A and B are shown apart, each in its own frame.
Chain A
Amino acid sequence: MSNALNAIIPYATLRMHSVNQLSNEECANAIANHLQSSNKFMQNDPTSERFRMETLRAMPQCLTVKRSVKSQLLATVNRRTKKKSISYWKWLKYNISLKIAKIWVTVQNTLLTMELWHQMIKTIESHNGSGVATYFKFLRWLLLLNIISCILSMFFIVLPQSLNQTHIPNNIKVLDFLTGSASLEHYNNKRTELYVTVIRNHTVAATVIGTLFVFWIINSTSHCWQTKLGEEIYRLIILDFIASIFGMCFQFIRSMLYKKLSTKIGKPEFNIARNTLNLIYNQTLFWMGFYFSPLISLIIVIKLIFTFYIKRYELKKCYRQPSQPWRAAQTQTLFLALAFIGMIIMLLTIGYIITNVKSDDCGPFRNYSHTWDFIINGILSLKRDSKFWSIVSELARPVTGAAIYFGTSETVYCLRAKTKASKEMLQILSNMLLLQSQDKQFLMKSFAKFANERTFVHSEMNFIQHASSTEQNHENEEIVLSRRRNLPSTSFEERL
């Protein structure tokens, strides 16, 4: 729309009002004249009419000007073509489509404000910048994800199990140990700092989870090892939560001290990278523990809700404004990628456990040597003509697989092509901008040069006039005039 507008009225902009001191009427006349010169624009049909109105609406001019332009255009259109009103059906069609568009905008708005913690995150974003808001948005996203898995596990695992009274997961135990939190490092470059923090925290988290897993898989002969692993993950999650509460107290004390002795201790700053990585660590733990103890989903949901309020409180009370600007969009992508990698690794590990690690004598799969056997048995025991079986066999057909694979590849290909094209366009546009500004600078320089030359000619003229005798006067004036004629004279110069 704006491009179309620019093509039609290149000068219809508010910004230039200090340069062209036109009155409202002159301005309206100029715009109307310009618009009327386009034949396509002045057609007397509903599409053109709508386009005209949209153009007028988007024009950054005041209402008086717009109204005058509108009446002029209307008069011209009516003069050019015999008046032909739109048919009732068309009018109805346009009205309805307009109404639908309006309703859609309203619905979108309401949905947006109904989003969880919408107002709070907005406030955080306005007070602490988009970088900090990234953390909270990521937290919200994880929470919604976990709520879904919580509901699924509650309805399909925990509830049926407790009704059946077969196996009730019992891994709620008193905590027995606590650890401290990591220390801060300082780097000159904020980006390097971010990446170093990301790598360090991620390595620590990966080591913790990896060690735990390897230990239990090696010891998978011990009694009820799945339950124990579930317990341990549960403990890690709770511990992490307690650590964050202690962290808040620590930060609170630190900011109190800062208020008292302001110079000695620096006011703490909200570390987006560390906090977000903590979330990812937490989420990886959840994905890992979810298989062994479905109740973890409920704990995670509660924990995330608490974390949101704790962090919000911390942010309000303890932290100073982030000293560096933050590239929110790129960071968001990095975090999503890390969360995705964590999930893939967890899926692979759980896949390995299901297929290759012997299940032992407790838990729902105690009668099978591997969990995978249970799945195979379950599928094989299905009746051939049952609905589920037909769906499964339909899905398992190579054609379906190929179709899904093909569809996905196609989508990925299209999206990639689009990204590439956008990137190229961006490059072209920024080059164009650069070129334009160079043109401008060149013009300004040559203009300054000409202006200088002109003052030089003026002084030369004065000098000549002084030196010349009366009989030479006529001749000299001719020379000067011929010289002046060679100089470009622009209206812009005159104005200066």
Chain B
Amino acid sequence: MGAGKSQFTEEELQDYQDLTYFTKKEVLYAHQKFKALAPEKVGHNRNAKLPMSKILQYPELRVNPFGDRICKVFSSSQDGDCTFEDFLDMMSVFSDAAPKAVKAEHAFRIFDFDGDDMLGVGDLRQVIDRLTAPQRLNDNDMQQLLQYILDEADLDDDGALSFAEFEHIIEKSSDFSKSFRIRL
């Protein structure tokens, strides 16, 4: 309530509007949400860097099994700590307006745990483990599931999904953009 004046100049807001999928109003709203995570710190410096643990308190991220991965992918320092601009980037990619291609690119990064630009068996295993979180698939089921995924998606039979193959699968699932989103 205290801040009568916006912490941003008109030019900065214009920049944000041009570079993200948000309007100026939505940018300000996003900042409010960001500020709510650490009112003291952000009130002092609007682009303060918040530790990953703080960012993960954002309701949608808290319940998301990939919350920490999402933070790491969008963090400009790559350690999961996010500034407001990183946060804005994140919300923009997860917004409804962001096109499928942009979402797919980031989804691939989120799932690529080892960062080798391929979704290998190890990556897929981690993805599945996180999705089934409280329980764990037994080895047999896991093996079978991995086999199904690779049978369906791995067109060149190299035992891993490249970005092209991943995109191909995403193209087929019409619901992807609807599920890959976070409401601001």
Interface digits, A27-67 against B, CB 8 Å rule (1 contact, 0 not)? 00000000000000000000000000100111010111011
User: What separation, in Å, do the CA atoms of A19 and B118 have in the docked complex?
Assistant: 13
User: What separation, in Å, do the CA atoms of A56 and B101 have in the docked complex?
Assistant: 13
Q: Confirm or deny: A102 has a beta carbon within 8 angstroms of a beta carbon on chain B.
A: yes
Least CB distance from B156 to A in Å reads 3
A434 pairs with B99, CB closer than 8 A: no
Least CB distance from B158 to A in Å reads 6
Least CB distance from B30 to A in Å reads 12
User: What separation, in Å, do the CA atoms of A67 and B23 have in the docked complex?
Assistant: 16
Chain A hits for B116, CB < 8 A: 18
B101 pairs with A430, CB closer than 8 A: no
User: What separation, in Å, do the CA atoms of A130 and B176 have in the docked complex?
Assistant: 12
Contact partner of A434 (CB less than 8 A), chosen from B23, B74, B105, B155, is B155
A63 pairs with B18, CB closer than 8 A: no
Q: Confirm or deny: A325 has a beta carbon within 8 angstroms of a beta carbon on chain B.
A: yes
- Of B16, B18, B20, most buried by chain A (CB within 10 Å of CB) is B18
Chain A hits for B108, CB < 8 A: 15
B153-172 residues with Cβ-Cβ distance < 8 A to A are 155-156, 158, 162-165, 168
Q: Confirm or deny: A271 has a beta carbon within 8 angstroms of a beta carbon on chain B.
A: no
Interface digits, A1-45 against B, CB 8 Å rule (1 contact, 0 not)? 110010000000111101100001000000000000000000000
Interface digits, B49-91 against A, CB 8 Å rule (1 contact, 0 not)? 0000000000000000000000001101000000001101100
Contact partner of B97 (CB less than 8 A), chosen from A2, A13, A105, is A105
Q: Confirm or deny: B36 has a beta carbon within 8 angstroms of a beta carbon on chain A.
A: no
A64 and B85 in contact, given A14-B73, A325-B148 (Cβ under 8 angstroms) = yes
Chain B hits for A437, CB < 8 A: 155-156, 158, 162
User: What separation, in Å, do the CA atoms of A5 and B86 have in the docked complex?
Assistant: 22
B102 pairs with A102, CB closer than 8 A: no
Q: Confirm or deny: A78 has a beta carbon within 8 angstroms of a beta carbon on chain B.
A: no
Contact partner of B112 (CB less than 8 A), chosen from A15, A24, A433, A434, is A15
B99 pairs with A18, CB closer than 8 A: no
User: What separation, in Å, do the CA atoms of A66 and B148 have in the docked complex?
Assistant: 39
Q: Confirm or deny: B19 has a beta carbon within 8 angstroms of a beta carbon on chain A.
A: yes
B86 pairs with A62, CB closer than 8 A: yes
Q: Which residue of B lies closest to A109 (CB)?
A: B96
User: What separation, in Å, do the CA atoms of A70 and B19 have in the docked complex?
Assistant: 8
- A interface SS class: helix
Interface digits, B97-125 against A, CB 8 Å rule (1 contact, 0 not)? 10101100110110010011100000000
Q: Confirm or deny: A119 has a beta carbon within 8 angstroms of a beta carbon on chain B.
A: no
A441 pairs with B109, CB closer than 8 A: no
A63 pairs with B101, CB closer than 8 A: no
Least CB distance from B82 to A in Å reads 10
A60 pairs with B76, CB closer than 8 A: no
A433 pairs with B18, CB closer than 8 A: no
Chain A hits for B115, CB < 8 A: 18
Least CB distance from B39 to A in Å reads 22
User: What separation, in Å, do the CA atoms of A125 and B16 have in the docked complex?
Assistant: 36
Q: Interface extent on B, as a size class?
A: 35 or more
A58 and B96 in contact, given A14-B73, A18-B117 (Cβ under 8 angstroms) = no
Chain A hits for B102, CB < 8 A: 2, 58, 60
Q: Which residue of B lies closest to A429 (CB)?
A: B168
Q: Which residue of A lies closest to B105 (CB)?
A: A60
B117 pairs with A15, CB closer than 8 A: yes
User: What separation, in Å, do the CA atoms of A366 and B19 have in the docked complex?
Assistant: 74
B89 pairs with A62, CB closer than 8 A: yes
Q: Confirm or deny: A438 has a beta carbon within 8 angstroms of a beta carbon on chain B.
A: yes
B117 pairs with A19, CB closer than 8 A: yes
Interface digits, B14-28 against A, CB 8 Å rule (1 contact, 0 not)? 011011110100000
A102 pairs with B15, CB closer than 8 A: no
Contact partner of B18 (CB less than 8 A), chosen from A13, A15, A18, A57, is A57
Chain B hits for A367, CB < 8 A: none
A14 pairs with B155, CB closer than 8 A: no
User: What separation, in Å, do the CA atoms of A56 and B97 have in the docked complex?
Assistant: 14
B21 pairs with A57, CB closer than 8 A: yes
User: What separation, in Å, do the CA atoms of A58 and B115 have in the docked complex?
Assistant: 21
Least CB distance from B47 to A in Å reads 10
Q: Which residue of B lies closest to A125 (CB)?
A: B175
A70 and B88 in contact, given A14-B105, A14-B109, A15-B112 (Cβ under 8 angstroms) = no
Least CB distance from A237 to B in Å reads 33
User: What separation, in Å, do the CA atoms of A340 and B57 have in the docked complex?
Assistant: 50
Least CB distance from B5 to A in Å reads 23
Q: Confirm or deny: A436 has a beta carbon within 8 angstroms of a beta carbon on chain B.
A: yes
B88 pairs with A63, CB closer than 8 A: yes
Q: Which residues of A contact B (CB under 8 A)?
A: 1-2, 5, 13-16, 18-19, 24, 53, 56-58, 60, 62-64, 66-67, 70, 102, 105, 109, 112, 125, 130, 325, 429-430, 433-434, 436-438, 441
Q: A109-B96, A430-B155 are in contact. List 18 more A-B contacts (CB 8 A).
A: A1-B99, A2-B101, A15-B109, A53-B19, A57-B19, A57-B21, A62-B74, A62-B85, A64-B85, A70-B15, A70-B18, A70-B19, A102-B23, A430-B168, A433-B155, A433-B164, A434-B156, A437-B162
A-B interface, 5 closest residue pairs, ranked by CB to CB distance from nearest: A437-B156, A2-B101, A63-B85, A60-B105, A66-B19
Can you list 8 A-B pairs with a CB-CB distance of less than 8 A? A14-B109, A18-B116, A57-B18, A57-B20, A60-B105, A325-B148, A433-B164, A434-B156
